[in-house]
Amino acid sequence: MAIIPMRTLLDHAAENDYGVAAFNVNNMEQIQSIMMAAVETESPVIVQASRGARSYSQDNYLRHLMLAAAELNPQIPMAMHQDHGNSPATCMSAVEMGFTSVMMDGSLEEDGKTPASWDYNVRVTQEVVKAAHARGVTVEAELGCLGGIEDGQGAGLSEEEAQEHLTDPEEAGRFVELTGCDALAVAIGTSHGAYKFKKKPTGQVLRMDVIREIHKRMPNCHMVMHGSSSVPEELVAIINEYGGKMPETYGVPVEDIQEGIRHGVRKINVDTDNRLAITGAIRKAFMDDPSEFDPRYYLKPARVAMAEVCKARMIAFGQAGRAPGVEMKTLDDLKKYYAM
Ligand SMILES: [Zn+2]
């Protein structure tokens, strides 16, 4: 089995100057796409599940999909991560299920909507760090708020409002010190979902300078970019060519993510791009042969389309070729590390 603590992977990425894409999983085809791409590019992977994914797929199906992926691909180091835990209880239920990493998103209150106070965020994050580290499990926290809503999680801030909830570099330093979290998700003006920017983002709206400043203050802090799909024009075009109706929209350019990786970003969440690839492929398959009714007829090209996106990100972020170099540590190893 090659399910490893996420911290091990982030440390290796930091030592070797690369970033790791974290792809969301809701069903079998998605995890197959991720693993196809990982095997082909020899990449270590982070597979993550939101609360929405856990209820959609039911915890047990999801857990066994991830276990199957690890069993079939023992050469691929894989971290299992809870995306946007809304409370310590959610995080600990993921730990019970065998996740090797959890995100305690205390930037929002337990409803997953209301921006939370500093004190609340520190308190719930400390609580999760204490309980998770005792089990060797990695903790990601968040400071500042992103725009948009995804899977019911998010304050629903507009592109403009998100600019008022950026992560403050000075606060980030204090927060990491107070909580002992392993990784910090930062708000730099992006949003969850497909509608991040109305035009191609400039440095005024996509604040890469915040990342550079945090990295300068805390060179050892692993930063996480959320809302970091690139929303490629060609994927939106396929959807619209085959009957979809998506307005013009812009994501986070891959070059900006690469700039982030040069300044301490180690985990990059990518979900929307995979959704676009799947939807485009299914729409095309439906139009290509309207007489087909076997789900495998349209799920196969969907799986390939998502694998292509995963592969492209793995190569762009520098995780390709890194799988053989990652130590296959266990939660017990990390338990000892945290106890020191
Ligand atoms: Zn997120």
Per-residue pLDDT of the chain (340 residues; tens, 9 = 90+): 699 999 999 999 999 999 999 999 999 999 999 999 999 999 999 999 999 999 999 999 999 999 999 999 999 999 999 999 999 999 999 999 999 999 999 999 999 999 999 999 999 999 999 999 999 999 999 999 888 877 777 888 888 888 888 999 999 999 999 999 999 999 999 999 888 898 889 888 899 999 999 999 999 999 999 999 999 999 999 999 999 999 999 999 999 999 999 999 999 999 999 999 999 999 999 999 999 999 999 999 999 999 999 999 999 999 999 999 999 999 999 999 999 8
Spatial contact of 214 and 171, defined as CB atoms under 8 Å apart: no
DSSP state of 139: E
**In whole angstroms, how far apart are CA 51 and each of 26, 46, 85, 152, 178?**
10, 16, 7, 9, 26
Residue the block writes with tokens 């708000």: 187
Spatial contact of 49 and 67, defined as CB atoms under 8 Å apart: no
Q: What share of the chain is helix, strand, coil (3-state, %, to 5)?
A: 50, 15, 35
Interval between CA 269 and ligand 1 midpoint (Å): 7
**In whole angstroms, how far apart are CA 147 and each of 27, 171, 229?**
26, 20, 13
DSSP letters for 157-198: --HHHHGGGPPPHHHHHHHHHHH--SEEEE-SS-BSSS-SBS
Does domain 6-333 correspond to CATH entry 3.20.20.70? yes
- Give the β-pairing of 222-225 and 20-24: unpaired
Interval between CA 49 and ligand 1 midpoint (Å): 11
Neighbours of 117 (CB within 10 A): 11
Count CA atoms closer than 13 A to 78's CA, side-chain side.
27
Query: What is residue 45's three-state secondary structure?
Result: strand
Catalytically annotated residues: 83
Interval between CA 289 and ligand 1 midpoint (Å): 36
Interval between CA 226 and ligand 1 midpoint (Å): 5
Ranges of each domain in the chain: 6-333
Interval between CA 152 and ligand 1 midpoint (Å): 11
Question: For residue 84, which phi and psi values (nearest 5 degrees)?
Answer: 45, 60
pTM: 0.96
